[in-house]
Structures are given as structure tokens and as C-alpha cells.
Amino acid sequence: MAGEATIINAAARTSLWLQPHRVVLILIALALAVSAVFFMRWDWLPQYWEMGLVGIWRSLWILAVTCALGFLFAVPLGLAQATGSFWFAAPAKTFCTIIRGTPLLIQLWLLYYGLGSLFPQYPWIRDSWMWPYLRQAWPYGVLALTLSFAGYEGEVMRGAFAGVPKGQLEAARAFGMSRWKIFRRIWLPQAFYRALPTLTGETVLQLKSTPLVATISVIDIFAVSSKVRQDTYLTYEPLLLLALIYMAITGILVLAFSRIEARIPVKIG
Amino acid sequence: MSNNSGAKLIDAFLSASAAGIIELLSPVPPGWGGNLLRGLLHSIEIAVGATCLGLLIGTGGAYGKLYGGPVARDLLAVYTTIVRAVPELVLILLLYYAGTDLINQVLTALGYQRIDVSGLVAGIAVLGFVQGAYSTEVIRGAILAIPQGQIEAARAYGMSPSLLLRRITLPAMLPFAIPGLANLWLIATKDTALLAVVGFNELALETRQAAGVTKAYFLFYVAAGALYLLLSLFSNLIIGRVEAWSRRGMPSLKEAR
């Protein structure tokens, strides 16, 4: 019975999905895509595709590094706000408010142009091992994106840490676990599961923030498309391709995260 | 040479010479404070316009997604999916060029002169289009959260769709929509900074120009950040009031849980 019902359901779903109007819409979309391929100019592609791949790689690399570092930074931020004393909670809350209350573009320019213009006056900075890095643009981009991700995710982690049921922590304490072990085995994993659905959205938002690093001369995929626009005087082709690339990356990210979410026990708390 | 004078200015700033800072930030012409405030005003204008346009698109979009025909639903799904998957910066460039191009082509086809679309209008239109996709989802969720009996009762009374929208749906969905819409307003104020990339002189671009001329980069970017932060904090204050007002007569959130 049940099997039959699911089969009927599946059949009904495909027939619902492929309604006549949808076939027409798909055909129109295909026609648009084909006309874009044939009537727009794509002869610049062979010259730039290698640069584009490097750009995509750099965007993804920035995304991965800033999300990972930002999350590491968000855990203490969330913990301080959820349980810490006033002297820990207040600075963490101030940091999150400032990051969430100002545009990322201003944060980025403040770090790159502001801090970057202050550093050269100090001879000890110029002599240190950091100077070769501080003269480049990407460390500032990575730092700004990391801080931004930490600010937004810190707020999420605060809620996640506070949302873990008290009984779980009390049970762990009754087992005689040390504080560090409770944090590592009970508190952090459960808070992470709670934060995971929002983590998908935050990661997609972070991906959409990465093109801002192009404004401080980091050559990511957005900067490559700007270069193509400048070199070829084409407006739409590079931008449309760029939008398509970002949509593809977003799709892959969402799929990957839903895979991870599916592996996690549904019932928490 | 300019580097040298820049270092001097920064030194002046670092040694906390308050007079130098006040001189640079003063609203009368030798200072750049007036430019920053004008930029802030432009940013607020765009954010208000974009949010209003976004609300209009969002209400229409939510109605289309909930009550529209199959074609309208699919097209709206495509609209919200694409806008939410592509970076705002790319959308702004694409819509800015495409929009101004389209208007000028229509105008030349009709035999009129080409026009320069003003940055304000273009900015509002582009950001409003982006905001519309997000508010569609927020308002759709809020309408779904209304107890359906209220809408059925209104239909049973014979209310016309427009009266139903005005008297029942919009007021009843407001408490569910306000948190999401407030978030969108904050995003809109911050997204106005992206318009600096297409050369509209809102706060971010004014700051960049002031910093470039005076070489006091750190000071001006901190000042701009403070202005944006003040705008956000002030908005939060107002939003709290509006939320309390829209939830009047309802049980408080803590009791409802």
C-alpha cells in the first residue's frame, strides 16, 4: 500500500513538475541561451579563459579561508556573549555590532587604505618579516572578510550556544567530565548542529561578498571580468558569464551543505 | 612629495591633534565634513527609495507566488532565485548598464534624444529590484503565517481583493514581516555603499574622494564607518518602536512561546 502510494506520488510529482507551461518556459529559456551564444561576441574567451580559471580558484580560495578562519573566531565570540561575564560579553557584543552595522566595503577600505597607509611610517614594520605580505592587497581582503564573517556568525553562535538544553550540560557534568571535555564533546557539537542551517546562508552571503576584494586590486574572478570589459569594450557578455559562474558556485555550495545537513541526526535537544 | 605631506597629516592625526581632526571634518569648505554628510543624505535617500520600491515589488511578488497562475509563479521563482544567487555588485553593474541602455534604445527608437539617467534614480531602481526579491520571500512567509480563518472570514463578508489586502492581509501580516523587513532595511543602507562602484556620489564615494585628496585615509574611513553605524543604531531604535506598535494587542513574544 505504502509503496504504491509513494510510486503514485512520485509519478504525480514529475507530471506536476513538467506541466505544459513549464515546457514552454524552458524552451524560451533555451532559445534565449542559444541566441546569446550565437548573437553575442564570445571570441575573447580563448584568450582569457586561463585567467578566468585562476580568478575562480582565487575566489574559492578566499571564500574557504575566510569562512574557516571566521568560524574559528566566531566560536569564542558566541561563547563570550552566551555565557561570559560582562567584561568578556561587552567587547564581543560591541565587535559584532560594529561589524554588522557598517558596510563591508568601508571595512575593507579602512583596512587597506587606512591601515595600509599608516604602516609604512614605522621602520620596524618595514624591516619585519611581515612587510612583504603587508605590501600586498590580499592579506587585507582576507582579514576584512574574516572579521565580517566572524561578526555575523558570532551572533548566530551566541544563539546556538544559548540554545543547547541545560540538561545536556548538567548530565555531562554529572558524568564528571572536565569543562574542556564538556565543551568539546557536548556543547560545541550541539551548537554547531544548531548553527548549520544558517551557516549555509552565511557561506552563500560570504561568496557574494568576495567580489568586493576586486576594489582593492585583488585579481579574483570579478576583477578578471572587469579586465575583459576594459580590454574588449564589451559590457554584457563578461557580466552575464560572471553571473552564471556565481550561480553555479552557489548551487554547488547549497547542494554540498544539504548533503552535510542530511548526515546530521535530525532530533537535537 | 604628496606622500610626504600625507605622512605629515597622518602624524598630525596620530599625535591626536584634535584641532587637525576638527579642521578636516568640519562641515565648512576647507573641511570635508559637509561632503560626508551630503553623501550620507544621498545614501539614506537611496536606501529609503530602494526599500519602498522593494516593498512594492515584494508585495506584488508575494501575491503572485501565493495566488498567481502557474506561469507567474515560475517566473517569480526564477527572479528570486537568480537575484539571491548572484552577488549584488554584479547585479548592480548588470542592471545599471542594461537599464540605462534599454531606456536610451527605447528613446532613440521613438525618436527622442538620449538622456543621462540620474544616479539617484538608477541607484534606487537597481537596489529596489534586488530588495524586491528578498522582500518577496519575507512577505510571502508573513502572509502564510496569518491565521487563514481571518482571510476566509473577510472573503465571506464579501470584501473585494483590494479591500481585503488593505484591511486584513497587510495589517495582519505586519508583525510577522517586520523583523525580516527591518533586516532588509539595514542591508539596504549598507548596500548603498556598493553604488560607489558605478560612480554615484553616496557616502562611500565621498569618503574615498575626501581621503584621496587629504591623504588622511584612516580618519575618513573611520568617520564614514561611524556614520553608517549611527544610522544602523538609530534604525534599530525606530524598528523596536515600530515592532512594538505592529504587535499591539498581541501576546508578547515571551508569553507566546
Are B175 and B247 within 8 A, CB to CB?
yes
d(CA A100, CA A186): 29
Residues in chain B: 257
More confident residue, A17 or B257: A17
Cβ-based contacts of A237 with chain B (< 8 Å): none
Characterize A127-158 residue by residue with b for buried, 16 or more Cβ atoms within 10 angstroms of its Cβ, and e for exposed. eeeeeeeeeebbbbbbbbbbbbbbbbbbbbbb
Count each helix (H run) and each strand (E run) in chain B, helices first.
12, 0
The nearest alpha carbon in chain B to A121 belongs to B7
* Interface contact A242-B90, CB threshold 8 A: yes
What's the average model confidence in pLDDT over B66-75? Answer: 88
* Interface contact B70-A121, CB threshold 8 A: no
Q: Give the pLDDT band (50/70/90) at residue B257.
A: very low
Q: What is the residue-wise DSSP string for B138-185?
A: HHHHHHHHS-HHHHHHHHHTT--HHHHIIIIIHHHHHHHHHHHHHHHH
**Chain B: closest CA distance from residue A107 (Å):** 7
Closest CA to B58 of B172, B180, B148: B180
Provide the number of CB pairs (under 8 Å) joining chain A to chain B.
117
Are A65 and A143 within 8 A, CB to CB?
no
Best of B102, B221, B236 to disrupt the A interface (most A CBs within 10 Å) is: B221
Burial class (CB in 10 A: 0-12, 13-18, 19+), A116: buried
Chain B contact for A40 (CB, 8 A cutoff):
no
Residue B7 has its nearest CB partner, among A101, A104, A121, at A121
Q: Is residue B108 scored above 80 in pLDDT?
A: yes
Q: Is A133 helix (H, G, I), strand (E, B) or coil?
A: helix
- Write down the residue that cell numbers 564615494 correspond to: B205
Q: Is residue B1 scored above 50 in pLDDT?
A: no
pLDDT for B30: 65
Torsion of CA A9, A11, A17, A20, to 10 degrees: -130
Residue A21 has its nearest CB partner, among B70, B85, B91, at B70
Name, in order, each residue with C-beta under 8 angstroms of B91's C-beta and a sequence gap of 6 or more.
A243, B83, B126, B129, B130
The interface residues of chain A toward chain B in range 112-141, judged by CB-CB distance below 8 A, are 113-118, 121
pLDDT for A221: 92
Are A117 and B6 within 8 A, CB to CB?
yes
pLDDT for B127: 92
More confident residue, B26 or B134: B134
DSSP 8-state secondary structure symbol assigned to residue A135: T
Best of A15, A102, A247 to disrupt the B interface (most B CBs within 10 Å) is: A102
Best of B90, B209, B222 to disrupt the A interface (most A CBs within 10 Å) is: B90
* Interface contact B82-A211, CB threshold 8 A: no
Q: How far apart are the first and last CA of chain B?
A: 66
Q: Which domains does chain A have, with CATH numbers?
A: 1-39 (no CATH), 44-262 (1.10.3720.10)
More confident residue, B200 or A140: A140
pLDDT for B2: 46
Are A195 and A160 within 8 A, CB to CB?
yes
Q: Is residue B89 scored above 70 in pLDDT?
A: yes
Cβ-based contacts of A104 with chain B (< 8 Å): 190
Residues B12-33 have pLDDT tens digits of 455 545 666 666 666 666 667 7
CATH pick for B46-200 out of 1.10.3720.10, 2.40.440.10, 3.40.50.300, 3.60.15.10: 1.10.3720.10
pLDDT for A1: 42
Q: Is residue B245 scored above 80 in pLDDT?
A: yes
pLDDT for A200: 87
Chain centroid offset of residue B138 CA? 15
Cell of B189: 543602507
The nearest alpha carbon in chain A to B232 belongs to A101
DSSP 8-state secondary structure symbol assigned to residue A268: -
d(CA A213, CA A46): 25
**Chain A: closest CA distance from residue B73 (Å):** 10
Q: Tens of pLDDT along chain A (269 residues)?
A: 444 555 556 656 666 777 778 888 888 888 888 888 888 888 888 888 888 999 999 999 999 999 999 999 999 999 998 887 888 889 999 999 999 999 999 999 999 988 888 777 777 777 777 777 777 888 999 999 999 999 999 989 998 998 888 898 999 999 999 989 999 999 999 898 888 888 888 999 999 999 999 988 888 999 999 999 888 888 888 899 999 999 999 999 999 988 888 887 665 54
What's the average model confidence in pLDDT over B236-242? Answer: 90
pLDDT for B46: 92
Characterize B50-80 residue by residue with b for buried, 16 or more Cβ atoms within 10 angstroms of its Cβ, and e for exposed. bbebbbebbbbbbbbbeebeeeeebbbeebb
Q: Residue A190, Cβ neighbours under 10 Å: how many?
A: 19
* Interface contact B85-A250, CB threshold 8 A: yes
Cβ-based contacts of A207 with chain B (< 8 Å): 87
d(CA B127, CA A192): 34
* Interface contact A239-B196, CB threshold 8 A: no
Integer CA distances (angstroms), A66 to A69, A139, A202, A244, B77, in order: 5, 11, 12, 23, 30
Cβ-based contacts of B75 with chain A (< 8 Å): 25
Tell me, what's the ipTM? 0.83
Determine which helix (DSSP H) or strand (DSSP E) holds A241, and give its type and residue range.
helix A236-262
Residue A211 has its nearest CB partner, among B89, B193, B225, at B89
Q: Is B216 helix (H, G, I), strand (E, B) or coil?
A: coil
% of chain B surpassing 70 pLDDT: 85
Closest CA to A240 of A225, A219, A253: A225
Cell of B187: 542591508
